[in-house]
Structure 1
Amino acid sequence: MGRNKASSSSDKQFAVKIYTTALDYDYQFPWKSPTISRWTGSGFVIEGNKIITNAHVAGGSTFVEVELANDSIKYAAKLMAVNHECDLAMLEVEDESFWQKAKSLEIGETPTQLQKIAVHGFPIGGEGYCITTGKVSRIENDWYAHGEQMLLSTQVSAPINPGNSGGAAVDKENKVVGVVHQSLTRGQNIGYMIPANILKHFIEQVRTNNMGFPSLNLDIQKMENRFLREKYGMKEHQTGIVIRSIPPMSCVKDKLQEDDVILKLNDHYVNNDGTVNLESITRVDYRYLINSSKLGDEMVFTVLREGKKCCVKVDLTDTFDSTHTMISRTHGQPPSYCIIAGSVVVQPVSKNLQTDWGRSYTNQVKKHKNEQILVINTLLKNRYSQGYEGLAGEIIDSVNGVEVHTMQELVKAVTENTQKNHLIETRSGKQLVIPKLSIVEANELLRAYDIEHDCSADLKTTSEADTLLAELTHHYIRPLQFSESGDSQLPIAASSTVSMRENSGYRCL
């Protein structure tokens, strides 16, 4: 069962071209229907009848098709798993005829510096299968543009272009040593691949249903200055980094302390510049030891506390985002929003919102479980919101005298209000007073802006039947239109052939 192994790089039936259809949501106007986008990318077959590609190629898809190199048939594929942090996704194909033709690749080891590699995929410049060659230039913790996180990355000299994303980088034994995922826009022939050990980590996450990469999100300071080391009582032979702050919701909050000097992580000494020396990588940021572990793993911290050395055991249960308020970037997911009294549009701050809106917020540490940053997206101008236009972008602290930390708490504070007006207070001390309106009155205001719902589906507190009844009672004369699927028809955007996204000079391919 599928199960042929590719014997050489000329045996192309492990290489897969991926055709993705996805929904794009506008977080600046969260009530709008999504548009449809299309692009292509690359992938490859591994043992177990699975296809590997990038998360930014298939992770937010509504429909995916795959086509083997030198084949003319597109097969429907199913998204089995995705991890946006490491920019990897896994696909399945149910059609048995696909696997009768496919050949799998074995996953090797993370390559060493100057090792030769061959990149396989379907980049722009033609429709067919393409192979480029190069060498590994650098191995270090680096920025993943799609996941917006720091993970181990491998820089390569092989020419890679948009459309190469998700393609296999193989060694001379035809084993996968990396997955192509991005390039540097400020240079020539500077491409990056996700190394084999991150790919193995992802596959193990899928197998054990333990998704994510541990991260402690500590604020640390390097100890490169000898006078600073003397202040903390470090001996001549000792090296390390000092903890400046720990997030309140961190798993190490009651174990590590501010001003602890981290000397060792497990058996690895920490250098004064925050790196550790490893046999396979030589020198890498200390956070690699943490995020290369599995969620729930135990790590031993050797620290210098008030001049005394002690060992602290920590279970690594935090992820990159578990201790901070800003919502990670989502793909193919509708935005969460609530419109108070047909006038005030409120959203939680997410990386999607920041990008679409063009505003920037500090990613604060959580003080409460599931805490979010709630902001006024916009004021729908009407007779009740007049004069509040300049308050768009304000962070909300309380609604009707109740502190709100999540969108669910905000909706509850609105729906349970028994007063004549809603009172919204912002972090900067501003106040908005909006009359409490009935569903029918609020819907009248929303119809002026062609807005169908006063909140996103994840926040609905009244049934669709109740809303429909209220509208009919008020002689709502717009014709009711139903389809067999119950879904509204979506506008179609201009289709694209490749996925191209930019972040801090790095571009997903």
Structure 2
Amino acid sequence: MKTRSCFILMGRAVLALALSFCPLITVQAVAAETASASALENSVVKVFSTLRGPDPYKPWSKAGPQEVTGSGVVIDGHRILTNAHVVGYASQVQIQANGAGDKIPATVLAISRGMDLALLKIDDDSFFDSHKPVPRANVLPDVRDAVLAYGYPTGGTSLSITKGIVSRIEFVRYNYPVSGLRIQIDAAINPGNSGGPVIAGDKMIGLAFAGALNMQNIGYIIPNEEIDLFLRDEASGTPHGKPAMFDTIQTLENPALRTFLKLGKNVEGAVVLAPFSKEADYPLKELDVITHIGDFPIDNQGMVKLNANSRVRFQYRVQQLAKNGLLPLTVVRNGASMKVSLPVSSSHPMLIPSLAGNYPSYFIFGPMVFSRATSEFMNVPNGNPQILYGMAFAGNPLMTRRGDKPDAQREELVVIASPFFPHKLMNGYSTRFFSVLYSVNGVPVRSLAHLVTLLRDQTDDLLTFRFEQRDAEAIVVPRKEMLAATESILTDNGIRSEASPDMLKIWNEKTPAGK
């Protein structure tokens, strides 16, 4: 009994000793967690930008200044990561730390509009002594993982933190033609949150970049995998963007389609509906069935496994598997399986491209303003169903050729970018605003540069402009009077130059006859 009592007493003493340390351990853990949270909050900044974007309908000038705010986060290398749409076309950028009263000037170091990512730098490196980089997770989160979204949504000046979970992971289009992984969360993401970090545990899993319009509790983040691709591409010194496939693909779910293709039950994959190129040496052919990308099997919905709980479109694996511009695929063609190497790149030439961060080229000739058709130029028609209907009814190429690639006959579409300036030379003609120029004196126009060359070298007294749509009248004007009118029109409208620098260079290469 004495021995047993002794052991009981000793056990109680050890327990009491352990319990006596529990409050101390708890306080230390709370203190460490508080310090970590404070350091994280100190690394999230508010971004202030003054944007001067392009004005596609007055291409000789910029749009009026627009003040926007967003969020950013300190990362390694004394850099701040944010979204491209927060600082794109910025004439001024400033950042402000949490709880600080001063704004610090910043410069855009790198930008990817396709991936909606940008890097900022500031001149004062001492800022980073007290604002440390946020550690980034190197694996994707799981669905249902808890997350915290940090940022500066509009409506307040202090740091906001919202809580939620990971809802799903997808591979979707960001800004055409770039696609990437996207994580959906149910933590609130509002205007101003863009560029702020989203945290799981004690590490950043991605960058907030969008909320779903007219929906509640749906926000989207760019995961670290995409961010790391962007950082590596920029670090290379010659950024190339993300490689991608541009072939048209359809699923293999329908039984009749499988019968038509004479496929065995064991064949799964995605069908090539239209190869990106019709050249004889292009590796993919119409109605090929892509069964594997690298070693990853593709199911009949065109999906591959991302992890145990998620599938994404198989094109996601392109950015992981492409080497030196070639992508390994396995296809079934006419019943036989074969391996092919598909050329891939980040470039996808379009007849109606994006400005990609540039300002539009233009050429003013008398009362007429010519420019290139771009996706930005289509902003007004896209928002007006009546204009779209009228353009479609007339067969305007801005509608009928939206998805076409350029070729030797048509490198780009030349448009009338603005209503005609008031002038007697245009008496009796309706404005051709949004019309696509087809020819000058019977010569088809390939590009804006080609148009400037044609007008520069023209010697005929009269110029006939024809437009590519059913209801477009021809415009005939005296050449010398158009040249003479240009200068007065520029002066009357406060326009500094008759052309953008690239077009002015072409115009001045040779003095036009009779000018």
TM-score of the alignment, normalized to the shorter chain, above 0.5: yes
Query: SS at 1:379's partner residue?
Result: coil
Contact 1:274 1:286 in 2 (8 A): yes
Larger Rg: 2
Paired position in structure 2 for 1:200: 228
**Residue identity matched to 1:415:** R
Q: Determine if contact 1:213/1:294 at 8 Å carries over to the other structure.
A: no
The match for 1:19 is: 48
| Shift, 1:84, TM fit | 0.7
Amino acid at match of 2:438: D
CA distance in 1 between counterparts of 2:440 and 2:353 reads 21
Q: Verify: 1:453 aligned to 2:497, yes or no.
A: yes
Aligned with 1:87 (options 113, 116, 129): 116
Alignment-derived partner of residue 432 in structure 2: 391
Distance 1:114 1:24, change over 3 A: same
Map of 2:364 onto structure 1:
339
Shift of 1:148: 7.3
* Counterpart-to-counterpart distance in 2, 1:272 and 1:244: 14
How many equivalent pairs are there? Answer: 456
SS at 1:303 equivalent? strand
> Which residue in 1 is equivalent to 2:219?
191
Pair 1:293–1:92, CA change in 2 (3 A): farther
1:444 match: 488
Q: Which has the higher strand share?
A: 1
Alignment-mate amino acid for residue 75 of structure 1: I
Show CA shifts across 1:427-474 (max 9, x none): 33653323213643322244454444322233113799x99xxxxxx9
**Structure 2: stretches of 5+ with no match in the other structure:** 1-33, 389-398
- Indicate the residue corresponding to 2:377 in structure 1: 353
SS in structure 2 of the partner of residue 10 of structure 1? helix
Corresponding position of 1:134? 164
User: How many angstroms does 1:26 deviate by?
Assistant: 2.0
**1:435 corresponds to 2:478:** yes
Relative to structure 1, is the Cα distance of residues 48 and 451 closer, same or farther in structure 2, using a 3 angstrom cutoff? closer
Distance in 2, Cα, partners of 1:192 & 1:228:
35
Amino acid of the residue matched to residue 318 of structure 2?
A: I
- C-alpha displacement at 1:103, in angstroms? 0.8
Q: Which residue of 2 aligns with 1:403?
A: 444
Partner Cα distance (1:428, 1:198) in 2: 43
- The verdict on how the C-alpha distance between 1:10 and 1:60 changes in structure 2, with shifts beyond 3 A counting, is same
Q: 1:257 to 1:147 in 2, by over 3 A?
A: closer
Alpha-carbon distance in structure 2 between the residues aligned to 1:404 and 1:246: 28
Instruction: Give 1:281 shift.
Output: 6.2
- For 1:324, the equivalent position in structure 2 comes to 350
State the 1:307 CA deviation. Answer: 2.5
By how many angstroms is 1:91 displaced? Answer: 0.8
Query: CA–CA distance in 2 between the matches of 1:421 and 1:191?
Result: 58
Amino acid at match of 2:362: Y
1:426 aligns with 2:464: no
Residues 280/43 of structure 1: CA separation in 2 closer, same or farther (3 Å cut): farther
Q: Which has the higher helix share?
A: 2
Letter paired with 1:154: I
Worse-matched range after superposition: 253-262 or 430-439 = 430-439
C-alpha distance in 2 between matches for 1:175 and 1:40: 24
Q: Is the 8 A contact 1:132 1:158 kept in 2?
A: yes
User: What's the CA shift string for 1:319-374, capped at 9, x where partnerless?
Assistant: 3xx2322222544x43222223x133222121211114546534232242792222
Q: Are 1:166 and 2:205 an aligned pair?
A: no
CA distance in 2 between partners of 1:49 and 1:153 (Å):
26
The letter of the residue matching 1:375 is V
Quickly say closer, same or farther: Cα 1:325–1:248, change in 2 above 3 A. Answer: farther
Q: Is the CA contact 1:122–1:163 (under 8 Å) kept in the aligned structure 2? A: yes
Question: What residue in structure 2 maps to residue 78 of structure 1?
Answer: 107
* 8 Å CA contact 2:269, 2:297 repeated in 1: yes
- Quote the sequence identity (%): 28
Cα 1:24–1:210 change in 2 (3 A) is: closer
2: CA distance, partners of 1:67 / 1:295: 41
- After superposition, the CA RMSD in angstroms is 2.9
Whole-angstrom CA distance in 1 between matches of 2:456 and 2:278: 29
Q: Aligned to 1:112, which of 142, 145, 148?
A: 142
Farther-moved stretch of structure 1 (199-208 vs 302-311): 302-311
Partner of 1:310: 338
Q: Which amino acid aligns with 1:459?
A: M
* 1:53 counterpart (82, 86, 89): 82
For residues 76-135 of structure 1, give each alpha carbon's deviation from its aligned partner in whole angstroms, at most 9, with x where no partner exists: 111111001111001111212212221111221321101111111111231111211111
- The partner residue of 2:270 within 228, 233, 241 is 241
Corresponding residue for residue 221 of structure 1: 250
SS at match of 2:331: strand
- Give the SS at the match of 2:36: coil
Question: For 2:198, what is the secondary structure of its paired residue?
Answer: strand
1:374 aligns with 2:414: yes
- Match for 2:71 among 42, 51, 66? 42
Q: Which amino acid aligns with 2:359?
A: P
Kindly state the Cα deviation for residue 412 of structure 1 after the two structures are TM-superposed: 1.3
1:433 aligned partner, one-letter code: V
Structure 1 residues 249 and 406: CA distance shift in structure 2, 3 A: farther
Q: Does the C-alpha gap of structure 1 residues 463 and 397 become closer, same or farther in structure 2, counting only changes over 3 Å?
A: closer
Measured in 2, the distance between the counterparts of 1:368 and 1:336 equals 20
- Alpha-carbon distance in 1 for matches of 2:332, 2:406: 27
Report matched runs for 1:119-158 at 5 Å: 119-144=149-174, 149-158=178-187
Greater mean alpha carbon deviation, residues 273-282 or residues 406-415: 273-282
Q: Distance in 2 between matches of 1:147 and 1:298?
A: 21
Q: Deviation of residue 245 (structure 1)? A: 1.9
Deviation at 1:14, TM superposition (A): 1.1
Cα pair distance change 1:123/1:96, threshold 3 Å: same
Mapped to 2, the partners of 1:83 and 1:400 lie a distance apart of 42
Q: Answer whether contact 2:406 2:412 (CA < 8 A) is retained.
A: no
Q: Are the structure 2 counterparts of residues 391 and 124 from structure 1 closer, same or farther at C-alpha, using a change threshold of 3 Å?
A: closer
Q: Is the 2:362–2:371 contact (alpha carbons within 8 Å) kept by the matching residues of 1?
A: yes
- Secondary structure, counterpart of 2:485 in structure 1: helix
Deviates more, 1:126-135 or 1:267-276: 267-276
Of the two structures, which has the highest relative contact order with CA contacts closer than 8 Å and spacing of 6 or more? 1
The C-alpha deviation readout for 1:252-274, integer Å capped at 9, x for no partner, is 97221222222221112222222
Find the residue that maps to 1:203 and give its secondary structure.
helix
